[in-house]
Amino acid sequence: SQQGEEDPQALSIQEGENATMNCSYKTSINNLQWYRQNSGRGLVHLILIRSNEREKHSGRLRVTLDTSKKSSSLLITASRAADTASYFCATGDNNAGNMLTFGGGTRLMVKP
């Protein structure tokens, strides 16, 4: 079963706009990660945020984590057509930080 839900399930925006994806989870975590997947291929790691961190940046990516609400968000700023992909959040718990539980994903389409 999935750890939680991602919202929205699908998102369509114009190039240059910002894209925000949300993730909720159910259990205590050690870390939360975001991965990207192009067209049913392998997943690529984007960013990891630890349970004691609240915000993290990497290039055009900004991730926030609210452990009291068991939720996270991924913001992609100034989106590009090449950002079109599915984005998944994944959580690792304290006993198994790299045995990840994935959400259902957000399918992002960026129109040129």
Question: Other CB atoms closer than 10 Å to residue 73's CB: what's the count?
Answer: 17
The pair of three-digit structure tokens given for residue 52, joined into one six-digit string: 């004691």
Of the residues 63, 105, 108, 110, which one makes contact with other proteins according to CB under 8 A? 105
- Interface of this chain with other proteins, residues 39 to 68, rule: CB under 8 A: 40-45, 48
- Interface of this chain with other proteins, residues 62 to 101, rule: CB under 8 A: 88, 90, 92, 96-101
Size of the site for other proteins (CB under 8 A): 27
d(CA 15, CA 97): 35
- Nearest-5° Cα angle at 107, 50 to 41: 80
> Which residues contact other proteins by CB under 8 A?
1-2, 6, 30-31, 33, 35, 40-45, 48, 88, 90, 92, 96-105
